[in-house]
Amino acid sequence: MKLFKLLMTAALLTGLAMPAAAQKKQFVTIGTGGITGVYYPTGGAIARILTKNEKKHGIRATVQATGASVFNINAIMKGDMDFGITQSDRQYQAYNGLDEWEGKPQKDLRAVFSLAPEAITLVVSEESGIKTLADLKGKVINIGNPGSGNRQNAIDILEAAGYNVEKDLKAEGAKAADAPKMLQDSRIDGFFYTVGHPNGAIKEATAGMHKARLIDVVNMEKVLAKFPYYSMVTIPKSFYPEALNPNDTKTVGMLATFVTSSKTPDDVVYNLTKEVFENLDELKSLHPALAVITKESMLQGNSAPFHPGAEKYFKEAGLMK
């Protein structure tokens, strides 16, 4: 009997001494994008970093392939997901009640950090005869599925170039990940895809039986002046050696951002942010598009307020006053 009491007492004391994280696991979901883009493997890397150190903080993350930016924001706001990756333009529009969120600003949206730069990429087939942005009139161009950030970016570019999207070209609404096969099957003349580079879908489009090229998206002063989240970026020719264009491609881009809700507990966001920043080399090694990330750049490109949990880590790390 005495031995039993001693064992029970020891078990209770051991339980009391256990870290809170070990006693209570917290499960979080991360919304990403299509499996051929940068979002999905990036979300997977963040989940792996968290899960690897689960004993420290008690957080286990799972990743969902989704329709990307708009879907992720809406799912987070509904409480269906905890975190998500979204383009910086969609973060801006959601928080300020623009476009899909017209008159319904998502004031509970919170920024956590930024990720890789993304480029608005226009790929066309050789057979299309398209050599510049001015050659798109009357062509069959996939601009992306309804509700996607990809589609809105394409519309911004086309309108800045003087096109009426509904009248001047035959705009298809397929998912960006489906567009390379459509191009190789000669079902479309070209497609827009906002994505980090190098990218598997763009490689598929430019390395197939039907030759293809990337088109410069230039003279975009109106877009840059109107939308603060856009900037000029370059896609190296070396990323797509089989593409017909002889030089690097100049285009418009933005940052991918990692977001959550104001309702997400501070400790969860703090621990996630801390683990990502303290394992940044592991994250950067995942994909060439992530190689340019720095701790300082991860605080840029956000228009929604930072979540208090993220701010706490930034201040501790000396990244924010």
Of the three residues 207, 228, 254, the one that is the final residue of a domain is: 254
Q: Both 95 and 122 in a single domain?
A: no
Question: Of all residues in the chain, what percent carry a pLDDT higher than 90?
Answer: 72
pTM over 0.85: no
Q: What whole-number distance in Å separates Cα of residue 173 and Cα of residue 140?
A: 11
Q: Phi/psi of residue 183, each to 5°?
A: -65, -45
Average pLDDT of the chain is: 90
The answer on 124 and 108 residing in a single domain is no
Classify residue 155: in a domain, yes or no. Answer: yes
Say yes or no: 177 and 62 in one domain: no
Q: How confident is the model at residue 21 (pLDDT cuts 50, 70, 90)?
A: very low
Confidence class of residue 290 from pLDDT cuts 50, 70 and 90?
confident
Domain assignment present for residue 233? The answer is yes
Same structural domain for residues 156 and 179?
yes
Contact between residue 42 and residue 9 where contact means Cβ atoms under 8 Å apart: no
In whole angstroms, give the CA distance from residue 72 to residue 266. 20
Q: How confident is the model at residue 25 (pLDDT cuts 50, 70, 90)?
A: confident
What value does the mean pLDDT take over residues 88-114? Answer: 95
Give the range of the structural domain holding residue 281, as residue numbers without chain letter: 19-117+255-316
Q: Are residues 231 and 141 in the same domain?
A: yes
Residue 5 in any domain: the answer is: no
239/242 Cα distance (integer angstroms)? 9
Give per-residue pLDDT as tens, 51-89.
998 999 999 999 999 999 999 999 999 999 999 999 898
Asked if the structure places residue 8 within a domain, the reply is no
In a domain, 301, yes or no: yes
pLDDT tens-digit profile of 119-163? 999 999 999 999 999 999 999 999 999 978 789 899 999 999 999
Worst-scoring range by mean pLDDT, 180-184, 253-257, 307-311? 253-257
Q: What is the CATH number of the domain that holds 113?
A: 3.40.190.10
Give the total number of structural domains in the chain. Answer: 2
Instruction: Give the chain as a 3 state SS string.
Output: CHHHHHHHHHHHHHHHHCCHHHHCCEEEEEECCCCCCCHHHHHHHHHHHHHHCHHHHCEEEEEECCCCHHHHHHHHHHCCCCEEEEEHHHHHHHHHCCHHHCCCCCCCEEEEEEEEEEEEEEEEEHHHCCCCHHHCCCCEEECCCCCCHHHHHHHHHHHHCCCCCCCCCEEECCCHHHHHHHHHCCCCCEEEEEECCCCHHHHHHHCCCCCEEEECCCCCHHHHHHCCCCEEEEECHHHCCCCCCCCCEEEEEEEEEEEEECCCCHHHHHHHHHHHHHCHHHHHCCCHHHCCCCCCHHHCCCCCCECHHHHHHHHHCCCCC
Please, which pLDDT band fits residue 6 given cuts at 50, 70 and 90?
A: very low
User: Whole-angstrom Cα distance, residue 270 to residue 268?
Assistant: 5
Residues 243 and 142 in one domain: yes
Answer yes or no: is 95 within a domain: yes
Contact 68, 50 (CB under 8 A): no
CB-side exposure of 94: number of CA atoms within 13 Å? 32
Residue 179 has pLDDT above 80, yes or no: yes
7 has pLDDT over 50: no
With bands split at pLDDT 50, 70 and 90, how would you rate the model's confidence at 226?
confident
In this structure, are 240 and 208 located in the same domain? yes
Question: Does residue 41 sit in the same domain as residue 139?
Answer: no
Same-domain status, 263 and 194:
no
Contact criterion met (CB below 8 Å) for 115 and 259? no
Q: How many CB atoms sit inside 10 A of residue 86's CB?
A: 29
Checking if the pLDDT of 12 tops 60, the result is no
Residues 44, 122 share a domain: no
Six-digit token string for 5: 């009491």
